[in-house]
C-alpha cells in the first residue's frame, strides 16, 4: 500500500545533495500559455536560470475549487498589479523548493515538481507573477535526508527566502517545521503525510493529505465500523506498528471497530503462514500496509489462500509503476486513493494533466500536491504579503479553493488541508492494469479531528 509516510518508509535515507537550481518565471506583453520557458545554464555554476519569457501553461490535474472572495474561479490567482499596497513593492518573491530530486523518493519528488510548475503557471495566468511580483524558484535536493534538508533550508533562509516548500518525506517535514517557526518563514510541505504536521505551528501548512484521511477513506469501504472486525496485515517494524496504531485510533477508538493485527518479520520470505493467520481471524476488513520488495509475494499468498476472495481487502493505491505488483489479486482488492490521473474529473484537473503532458511530464500520484502548493503560495502573496510570512499565513487560514481533486479548504485552527479522497479498483490484466473510480469522498467525509495549534 501507499505507506502512511507517503514517502517510501522502507527506504534508507541516503543520497547525494546536488546544488540548487534557480528559475525565474516572468512575462511581459505576451498572451499566457504560449511560449515555453527557455532554460539557460550559468557558465560559472550548476545554477539554472530561465529567461523572462512566458511560462508554458502547466495546468494541474487535481481539482482546486472556488476560492474566497477576491480569488478567481478554479483556484486561479486574481489580477495582479504593480501597486502592492505596502506588500513589498514589485520586488521578486523568492521561493525555495526543498525536495527529493535524488535518492529513494526521487520519483515522488519528480511528480511534485511537475505539478508545482503546472500550478505556478496556472495560478499566475502564465505571467509568473503574483500581485506584480515575479516568482523566483530555487530548487534544493535533500535526497530524503533530514540533515541535508535542514542545511539547505538554512542556506535559503540566510539568503532572505521567505517561503519554503516541497518536502517529500515525513521525517524531513518534521525537521523543517520547527525551523520555519523559529525563523518565521512560510513553510508548505508537500507529499509528507505525517499527522504530526497538522497544528505543529502557525507557519507550517501542507499541500497534500495526511494519514488520518487515508484511514478514514479505507474505513468508508467497510461502512458502519461499529462492532466490525478489522485486521491490519503489516510488518513488525516501526512502519508497521505505526499503521496498527493509526487504524486502532481511527477505526477502533473513533468508530468502534475491533482492531487486530498480523505482523510479519520484514525479512520473511514465505508469506503464506501470515496469509493463513489473517484468514483464520475471519475479519470483515483486512487493511494491508506493506513495504518493500516482497509485495508481489504477499499478494500472491493472499490470493492463493483465498483471503482476497473471501473478505474485503483494502490497501493504498500508490503510483502507476506499482499497479502490476498486485498480479492476479489486483482486480479483487479495494484501494483507498489520494489521487490517480482522472480521479478529479473536472476542468482544473484536465488543465493540470494537459499542462504536465505538454511539458513532457507524466501526471501521477503526487502531481496535485505540487500544483496545490503553487496555488497556495500565489494566494499567500496576493492576499497576504510578498515580504511578511505572518501575513502570508493569515491569508491562507480558512482559504477555500478549487484544486485538481475538488473542493478544498485550509482549516484555520490547525492548517489541516481538508480535501476529497477516492476509492478505486484496478481493471485489466497483465502489465498495464488501470485504476477505475469507485467513489469520491467529499472533504467533509474524511475530515481529521482538529488540533490546538502548538506554536
Instruction: State whether 132 and 149 are in the same domain.
Output: yes
Number of domains in the chain: 2
CATH number at residue 434: 3.40.50.2300
Instruction: State whether 409 and 294 are in the same domain.
Output: no
- Inside any domain, residue 87: yes
Q: Is 188 helix (H, G, I), strand (E, B) or coil?
A: strand
C-alpha distance from residue 10 to each of 67, 240, 248, 287 (Å):
38, 10, 22, 18
DSSP letters spanning 205-227: EESS--HHHHHHHHHHTT-S-TT
Q: Give dist(CA 316, CA 310) in Å, integer.
A: 19
Instruction: State whether 304 and 394 are in the same domain.
Output: no
Q: What single-letter DSSP state applies at residue 329?
A: G
C-alpha distance from residue 109 to each of 54, 149, 265, 283 (Å):
24, 13, 29, 37
Q: Is 94 helix (H, G, I), strand (E, B) or coil?
A: strand
- Inside any domain, residue 114: yes
- Inside any domain, residue 5: no
Instruction: State whether 426 and 317 are in the same domain.
Output: yes
**Do the Cβ atoms of 130 and 193 come closer than 8 Å?**
no
Instruction: State whether 103 and 35 are in the same domain.
Output: yes
Instruction: State whether 255 and 285 are in the same domain.
Output: yes
Instruction: State whether 198 and 108 are in the same domain.
Output: yes
10-residue stretch averages of pLDDT, the chain, 455 residues long: 40 29 37 30 30 26 26 36 50 97 92 97 95 97 95 98 95 96 98 93 97 92 91 91 91 95 94 97 95 89 96 94 90 95 92 94 96 97 98 98 96 98 88 90 96 90
Give the residue among 268, 276, 323, 317 at the shortest CA–CA distance from 297: 268
- Inside any domain, residue 15: no
The residue segments making up the domain with residue 257 are 213-337+421-446
Q: Is 378 helix (H, G, I), strand (E, B) or coil?
A: helix
Q: Give the helix/strand (H/E) hosting 232.
A: strand 229-235
Instruction: State whether 61 and 167 are in the same domain.
Output: yes
The pLDDT assigned to 96 comes to: 98
Cell 478505486 maps to which residue? Answer: 424
Q: Which residues pair with 187 in a beta bridge?
A: 164, 204
Cell 493467520 maps to which residue? Answer: 277
- Inside any domain, residue 8: no
- Inside any domain, residue 130: yes
Instruction: State whether 328 and 389 are in the same domain.
Output: no
C-alpha distance from residue 348 to each of 11, 247, 345, 365, 438 (Å):
33, 33, 8, 16, 21
Instruction: State whether 99 and 177 are in the same domain.
Output: yes
The pLDDT assigned to 292 comes to: 76
Q: Is 321 helix (H, G, I), strand (E, B) or coil?
A: helix
Instruction: State whether 231 and 307 are in the same domain.
Output: yes
Residue 27 phi/psi, 5-degree rounding, is: -160, 145
- Inside any domain, residue 192: yes
- Inside any domain, residue 6: no
Instruction: State whether 106 and 147 are in the same domain.
Output: yes
The pLDDT assigned to 216 comes to: 93
pTM over 0.85: no
Amino acid at each position: 500500500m501507499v505507506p502512511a509516510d507517503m514517502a517510501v518508509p522502507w527506504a534508507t535515507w541516503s543520497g547525494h545533495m546536488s546544488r540548487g537550481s534557480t528559475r525565474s518565471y516572468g512575462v511581459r506583453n505576451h498572451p499566457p500559455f504560449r511560449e515555453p520557458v527557455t532554460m539557460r545554464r550559468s557558465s560559472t555554476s550548476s545554477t539554472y536560470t530561465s529567461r523572462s519569457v512566458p511560462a508554458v501553461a502547466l495546468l494541474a490535474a487535481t481539482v482546486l475549487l472556488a476560492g474566497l472572495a477576491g480569488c478567481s474561479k478554479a483556484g486561479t490567482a486574481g489580477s495582479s498589479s504593480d501597486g502592492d499596497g505596502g506588500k513589498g513593492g514589485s520586488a521578486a518573491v523568492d521561493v525555495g523548493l526543498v525536495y527529493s530530486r535524488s535518492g529513494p523518493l526521487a520519483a515522488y519528488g519528480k511528480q511534485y515538481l511537475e505539478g508545482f510548475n503546472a500550478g505556478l503557471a496556472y495560478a499566475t495566468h502564465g505571467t509568473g507573477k503574483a500581485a506584480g511580483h515575479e516568482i523566483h524558484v530555487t530548487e534544493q535536493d535533500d535526497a530524503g535526508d533530514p540533515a541535508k534538508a535542514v542545511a539547505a533550508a538554512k542556506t535559503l533562509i540566510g539568503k532572505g527566502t521567505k517561503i519554503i516548500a516541497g518536502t517529500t518525506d515525513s521525517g524531513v517535514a518534521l525537521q523543517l517545521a520547527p525551523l520555519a517557526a523559529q525563523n518565521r518563514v512560510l513553510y508548505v510541505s508537500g507529499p509528507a503525510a505525517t499527522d504530526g504536521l497538522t497544528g505543529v505551528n502557525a507557519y507550517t501548512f501542507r499541500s497534500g493529505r495526511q494519514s488520518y484521511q487515508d484511514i478514514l477513506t479505507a474505513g468508508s469501504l467497510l461502512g458502519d465500523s461499529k462492532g466490525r472486525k478489522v485486521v491490519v496485515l503489516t510488518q513488525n517494524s516501526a512502519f508497521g506498528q505505526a499503521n496498527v496504531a493509526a487504524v486502532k485510533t481511527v477505526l477502533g477508538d473513533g468508530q468502534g471497530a475491533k482492531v487486530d493485527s498480523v505482523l510479519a518479520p520484514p525479512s520473511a520470505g514465505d508469506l503464506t503462514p501470515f496469509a493463513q493467520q489473517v484468514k483464520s481471524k475471519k475479519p470483515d476488513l483486512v487493511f494491508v500496509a506493506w513495504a518493500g520488495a516482497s509485495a508481489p509475494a504477499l499478494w500472491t499468498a493472499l490470493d492463493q489462500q483465498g483471503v482476497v476472495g473471501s473478505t474485503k481487502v483494502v490497501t493504498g493505491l500508490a503510483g502507476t509503476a506499482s499497479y502490476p505488483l498486485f498480479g492476479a489479486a489486483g482486480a479483487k482488492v479495494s484501494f483507498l486513493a489520494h489521487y490517480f490521473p482522472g480521479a478529479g474529473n473536472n476542468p482544473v484537473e484536465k488543465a493540470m494533466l494537459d499542462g504536465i503532458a505538454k511539458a513532457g511530464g507524466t501526471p501521477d500520484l503526487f502531481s496535485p500536491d505540487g500544483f496545490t502548493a503553487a496555488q497556495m503560495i500565489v494566494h499567500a502573496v496576493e492576499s497576504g504579503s510578498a515580504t511578511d510570512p505572518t501575513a502570508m499565513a493569515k491569508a491562507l487560514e480558512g482559504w477555500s479553493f478549487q484544486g485538481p481533486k475538488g473542493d478544498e479548504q485550509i482549516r484555520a485552527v490547525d492548517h489541516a488541508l481538508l480535501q476529497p479522497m477516492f476509492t478505486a479498483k484496478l481493471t485489466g490484466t497483465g502489465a498495464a492494469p488501470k485504476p477505475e473510480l469507485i467513489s469520491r469522498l467529499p472533504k467533509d467525509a474524511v475530515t481529521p479531528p482538529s488540533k490546538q495549534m502548538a506554536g
